[in-house]
A and B are shown apart, each in its own frame.
Chain A
Amino acid sequence: MRTRRPEPHTLAGAYALDALTRADRARFELHLARCQQCAAEISGLHETTAHLAVAAAAEPPAGLTQRAVAAAVRTRQLPPLTRGTPSPWPPRRRAAAAFAGPAASTPADGPFRRIWLPRVALAIAGAMVILAAALGLASRSAQHQLQQDQLHSHAIAVVLTARDAHMISARVSTGGTATIVMSGREHALVFAAAGLAALPSTSCYELWLMGSGGDQPAAMLPPPQHGMTGPVLASGLKPGERLGLTIEPAGGSPHPTTPAILRIVL
């Protein structure tokens, strides 16, 4: 389901103030990477928020600097970004993980089962590309919606064509197969599924990014068309996160309310 999203450009203020959710932030950054004018504006707005920070300056607790220095000594520094600096995500395919069932008492990430469904996966990926292209062409009465769709399909295309894009497939425990194409470089993934169990109108499928910082809603899945669900973009990925799928009351939930029916280690 594509909810109506604000024009990325109007989000510049909210972005500079960190008033965007992680998903919105990632989406805006995707836009930022392609909009020089926006980058210049954000730079000026960040200089402005720096004034807000300095205005809030407060005497730090005694020993803060010493503790930071002591911790820094034990912390390896990041190399400078150069052309070809690898992204923090492993570039190769990772094992897909699926759960035995919603009531399974297995620990969060295991046990993993390696599932290879190359033909299904390729078929879904191909369909994703076609769907992504079709999104921009869908006839809509509102020009605004059309622009949103084009942006959405553009964002999907960016992930699908990323140099480090790779694919993972897994079975959904309640039925169906999910395939994702993810790019660590773009901090985003594209999700699609085939044959998901039909839900009553009071429920929906919701995607989550599950990490140490808690479970963040990533996207709600639209109703299937011809047995295919998606493609849906989830952005704002962080290293070490997992993708989860749950069944939620229609309209979605801020936090998962049912056990995950799919978990994929990203």
Chain B
Amino acid sequence: MRLDEGRPPHEAGPATGEARAGELPVLLERVARGDRDAFEHLCQQIAAPVFGTVRAVLRDLPQSEEVAQEVLVEVWQSASRFDPRRGGALAWVTTIAHRRAVDRVRSEQRSAQRELRAAAHTVAYDEVAETAQANLDAERVRRCLRSLTDLQREAVTLAYYGGYTYRQVAALLGVAAGTVNTRMRDGLIRLRDCLGVER
């Protein structure tokens, strides 16, 4: 099931708090034609997952705010490139958000701070969940993550919330890179099936 389509708004969590089923693609279509009101409305719908995702990866608040704003502007800029045949609108937006956050982290990988961070802790989903808004989706995701093997879950959450490459994840977990690759794919597939994501 796509998050932004065919699902009652009360189930959609904060991401689409007031969005009606299928509203995001319609808003994006209007945004693509330069409709500022539609963009403002869209931002209200997507700001929470965009900001939350970016912050999970970057940690630093001012930087997260900066990147989240860049993501929103990128959504405005490239709204015409959204193709509903290739996936859901929210997935399109969160993919942009996550990629920008990860790009930012990696462009700064030289800094000793990042090295320390990598050594000092691993990013647990619970840590992200603690600061995230309580929402039904978080509960479902938490439940489904528990159905993964430990290695699958760690590989998926370290990559997504930690922003690490698979090679870095492999180093953190002390397993071969190839193993991590397989676990990431298997873990995501299991998560997908548990969440009932439409393929």
Contact = CB atoms under 8 A, between A and B. Distances in A.
Interface of A: 6, 10-14, 16-22, 39-41, 43-61, 64-65, 67-69, 71-73, 75-81, 213-214, 255
Contact of B15 (A14, A18, A44, A54): A54
Nearest 5 A/B pairs, CB to CB: A13-B185, A13-B184, A58-B52, A53-B94, A68-B72
A61 B138 contact: no
Contacts of B15: 53-54, 57
Contacts of A67: 69
Given A19-B165, A80-B32, A55 B80 contact: no
A13 B140 CA distance: 20
A21 B165 contact: yes
Given A61-B51, A72-B76, A49 B95 contact: yes
B133 A58 contact: yes
Interface string B161-193: 101111101000000011011111111110110
B25 to A, nearest CB: 14
Q: Is the interface of A mostly helix, strand, loop or mixed?
A: helix
Contact of A43 (B39, B72, B87, B181): B87
A40 B86 CA distance: 8
B60 interface: no
Contacts of B81: 78, 80-81
A56 B56 contact: yes
B20 interface: no
Contacts of B131: 58
B145 to A, nearest CB: 9
A81 B102 CA distance: 26
Given A6-B177, A57-B135, A61-B51, A49 B195 contact: no
Contacts of A214: 107-110
Given A21-B165, A55-B141, A58-B133, A65 B47 contact: yes
Given A53-B97, A55-B141, A55-B142, A20 B160 contact: no
B44 A75 contact: no
14 contacts: A10-B181, A17-B160, A17-B188, A18-B159, A21-B106, A21-B165, A47-B3, A47-B88, A48-B195, A49-B160, A51-B195, A58-B51, A60-B68, A65-B43
Nearest to A46: B91
Nearest to B125: A55
Contacts of A48: 188, 191-192, 195, 197
A234 B150 CA distance: 35
Contact of A57 (B48, B78, B92, B169): B48
A57 B52 contact: yes
Contacts of B183: 13
A47 B197 contact: yes
Contacts of A22: 106
Contact of B135 (A10, A11, A46, A54): A54
Contact of B199 (A40, A58, A71, A75): A40
Given A17-B188, A51-B191, A57-B135, 5 more contacts: A43-B91, A54-B12, A55-B142, A78-B78, A214-B109
Nearest to B56: A56
Interface string B110-138: 10000000000000000011011101011
Nearest to A58: B52
A192 B154 CA distance: 40
Nearest to B167: A21
Interface string B51-86: 111011000010001001100110011111100001
